[in-house]
Amino acid sequence: MKKLLLTTALIIGASSIWAQKAPRIILADEMSSVEKPTEIMPSLKDEGITIWSDDFSDESTWVIDNSGQQGLQFGWNINAVSDGWYAANGISSTSGGNYAELVNGDPFEGTQALDVVYTLTTANPIDVIGLAGTNQVTLEFEQFGARFNDLQQILYSTDGITFNPIGDNLDQPVLSASGGAAYDNPDLKQINLGTVLSATNDPIWLQFSWTTNYPGSAENPNVWVTYGWYIDDVRIVTNPGNDLQVTDTYWGSAGLNYYQIPITQVAPIDFEAALFNGGNNIQTNVTLNADINAGSFTGVSDAVSIDPLGFDTISLNTQFTPDAVGEYTIVQTISADSLDDVPSNNEIANINFDVVEYIYARDNNAVGGSTSNGDDGFESGNLFDIWTDQTVKAIDVRIPGGNNGAQLGVEFYVKLYSLDSEGEFIYENESDPLVLTQQMLNTSLTVPLLSPVDLYANTTYLAVVGCFESGFRVSTAGDSDPQTSFFQDLADGTWYYQTGTPFVRLNFDPTIGIEENNTSFQVGNIFPNPANENANLRVVMKNAQNINLEISDLSGRIISSENLDLNQGENIVPLNAKNLKCGIYNITIASNNNAVSRKLTIK
């Protein structure tokens, strides 16, 4: 995989669009690299008992530090009115009335403050051990808002000075043009404090902190945009006796999951669940169970025992390999000897995918957003593992229309790369450029490659759609794990990963006719493009012959013209751009009565 781990984030408002390319999102389990030894003592109180709570009805129970910023548009405030730009009605909390709200300016007006850390801290320490008689307690609070480039953290301290993180909202999806969603209103956030508190712990202060998740890009106002963070009904409760929690799930073949799989590319599928025991009792005979298509296949993991506050990852001990074209529904459950006191946090959503004749799709077909790159060109697409040698003739894409859709008249293309042993993308083939028309929008569009490409087993390929101009977008549907869907900024040639899955698919339909742009030769795109001094043009000749290569500016003035003898098959034609000024030029290949033009940008 690519070693440059970066993301693309987009945020869409009623009339403005911001684009942000930033370092990769830090995973929640990276927040602390040292595991704290767990001390457990018997609970002296029944589970689920509230030992401390605060509903923000008294502002004096909290201390606010807003980094020197003034006014309700910056930092934390406590009242019953939503003061931010995003949510008109604030949080729909259980208690109602006052709540805490985090704001940082208005991105439509460009007023967000930079280089700030906003904190909201309990005014007095909480004697958890004295109140509960145990360290087996959970912090709960209701929240609302959404995440963009935010780092929304929860911290604790035993001296009121040094605070350590115990949770964050990095598990929430980014709400952007690529998809995502706001938090539930309200969303109940739970953090088991038994993982950090000792059996004789000193009283603690709690703190809610907000800043950017990308301090390395702190001078960019986009990384300080926030939808807002709303908090109410904070409480600490004693832990239940039995509480298995599913913290993560995985399904797929060799790290990638697909929602449409060609019958020729079927491979064994794994199913896995990460579990946490948030209760006071050991959980025995814990298993992951799977039922596929109502009993046509059943699988179970090896049974494990998980200690209180312990973690484990369990997998089905038998892989599932589909054997026929059709729809597949996977129902997964977690079972144990004990009856779970909080069953809602160990439920696993059903999985649905199709085995088909020709389409290989990473997206889930539920279009929820789109990807663009502001004024710059880009390429966006997905990795695909090939398990059986097969020839691909086309790539399917979906391009969005409407108010936030792609602009008609832009030129776009599809392209195929292979992935080498060093994780680099190697060019394989592409399509002719197409001009976007109304009929191409909001549909699965099949774009033929210049020539069929033989794909080889045990090789990974990257299929992308791209455009050198501004105004282009590609639809996204579902989420991708980091380093499995990619985005190239053509302005600087940098690859990033993206977590919204582009609607870009491999199409193995053998009946697809390769559309030739003329009868004697085919012309690919120029690469690199934009270029500084040197670029190349791929020309595939039906027969060896002489062609004319002409460079002209947009006014039609001819800059240079030369005759070239090209061989039958593929030719890589160098373009000398050293004497060209910055701008856009037409590169024209002509032979007899046939001519094809491509645009070259000199930067």
Assign residue 260 the CATH number of its domain: 2.60.40.10
Identify the domain boundary among 339, 356, 373.
356
d(C-alpha 511, C-alpha 508), whole Å: 9
pLDDT, greater one: 415 or 17:
415
588: Cα within 13 Å, side-chain hemisphere: 19
Residue 12 lies in a domain: no
In this predicted model, what pLDDT tens digit does every residue of 253-273 receive, in sequence order? 999 999 999 999 999 999 999
Residue 479 lies in a domain: yes
In this predicted model, what pLDDT tens digit does every residue of 181-199 receive, in sequence order? 899 999 999 999 999 999 9
Q: Is the pLDDT of residue 515 over 70?
A: no
Q: Is the pLDDT of residue 30 over 60?
A: no
Is the same domain home to 254 and 226?
no
In this predicted model, what pLDDT tens digit does every residue of 62-78 receive, in sequence order? 999 999 999 999 999 99
Angle at alpha carbon of residue 304, lines to 302 and 310, rounded to 5°: 140
- pLDDT-wise least confident of 12-16, 342-346, 425-429: 12-16
List the CATH number of the domain containing 598: 2.60.40.3080
SS3 content of the chain, % helix, strand, coil (to 5): 5, 50, 45
Residue 533 lies in a domain: yes
Residue 25 lies in a domain: no
Q: Is the pLDDT of residue 35 over 60?
A: no
Query: How many structural domains does the chain have?
Result: 4
pLDDT of residue 390: 97
Confidence of residue 41 (pLDDT cuts 50, 70, 90): very low
- Mean pLDDT, residues 348-375 taken together: 93
Q: Is the pLDDT of residue 36 over 80?
A: no
The mean of the pLDDT values for the chain is 87
Residue 513 lies in a domain: no
Q: Is the pLDDT of residue 7 over 90?
A: no
- Mean pLDDT, residues 556-583 taken together: 87
d(C-alpha 460, C-alpha 256), whole Å: 11
Amino acid at residue number 366 = A
Is the same domain home to 183 and 87?
yes
In eight-state DSSP terms, residue 385 is E
Is the same domain home to 149 and 225?
yes
Q: Is the pLDDT of residue 27 over 80?
A: no
In eight-state DSSP terms, residue 202 is P
pLDDT of residue 268: 97
Is the same domain home to 155 and 278?
no
Most confident range, picked from 260-274, 416-430, 483-497: 260-274
Is the same domain home to 71 and 163?
yes
Q: Is the pLDDT of residue 89 over 70?
A: yes
Is the same domain home to 104 and 37?
yes
For residues 177 and 12, is the Cβ–Cβ distance under 8 A? yes
User: pTM for the full model?
Assistant: 0.73
User: Would strands 434-435 and 411-419 be described as parallel, antiparallel, or unpaired?
Assistant: antiparallel
Residue 14 lies in a domain: no
Confidence of residue 513 (pLDDT cuts 50, 70, 90): low
- Owning domain of residue 325: 244-356
Q: Where are the beta strands (DSSP E) in 504-566?
A: 504-507, 521-527, 534-541, 545-553, 558-566
d(C-alpha 288, C-alpha 299), whole Å: 8
For residues 205 and 161, is the Cβ–Cβ distance under 8 A? no
pLDDT of residue 535: 86
* Helices of type H across 192-314: none
Is the same domain home to 138 and 206?
yes
Is the same domain home to 80 and 154?
yes
Is the same domain home to 196 and 281?
no
Identify the domain boundary among 472, 507, 542.
507
599 CB burial (10 A radius; 0-12, 13-18, 19+):
middle
Q: Is the pLDDT of residue 143 over 50?
A: yes
**Beta-bridge partner residues of 76:** 102
Is the same domain home to 173 and 86?
yes
Q: Is the pLDDT of residue 516 over 90?
A: no
- Mean pLDDT, residues 78-100 taken together: 96
Residue 16 lies in a domain: no
Is the same domain home to 442 and 492?
yes
Backbone φ and ψ of 194, nearest 5°:
-60, -20
Q: Is the pLDDT of residue 223 over 70?
A: yes
pLDDT, greater one: 518 or 588:
588
Is the same domain home to 496 and 575?
no
Q: Is the pLDDT of residue 37 over 70?
A: no
**Beta-bridge partner residues of 588:** 550, 597
Q: Is the CA virtual torsion 255, 256, 261, 262 positive or negative?
A: negative
**Beta-bridge partner residues of 386:** 459
List the CATH number of the domain containing 422: 2.60.120
Residue 537 lies in a domain: yes
Identify the domain boundary among 186, 205, 238.
238
